[in-house]
Amino acid sequence: MNPFEEVYLKMYFYENRLKTFEGWPFNEDCTCTPENMAKAGFIHIPSENSPDTAMCFFCLKELEGWEPDDDPLKEHKSHSSSCHFIALKKKVEELTVEELLTLQKEKHKLMLKKTGNEAIAKFEEAAKLKGANIVKTAMGEE
| CATH superfamily of the 6-138 domain | Inhibitor Of Apoptosis Protein (2mihbC-IAP-1); Chain A (1.10.1170.10)
- Cβ 22 vs Cβ 44: under 8 Å: yes
Residues contacting residue 39 through CB under 8 Å, at least 6 positions apart:
14, 72, 73
Residue 137's pLDDT band (cuts 50, 70, 90): confident
Strand bridging mode 54-56 / 42-44: antiparallel
**From the centroid of its chain, how far is CA 17?**
12
First vs last C-alpha separation in the chain: 42
Question: Which H or E element spans position 62?
Answer: strand 62-63
Q: What pLDDT is stored for residue 9 in this prediction?
A: 83
Q: What pLDDT is stored for residue 135 in this prediction?
A: 86
Q: Which amino acid is at 32?
A: C
Q: What pLDDT is stored for residue 13 in this prediction?
A: 93
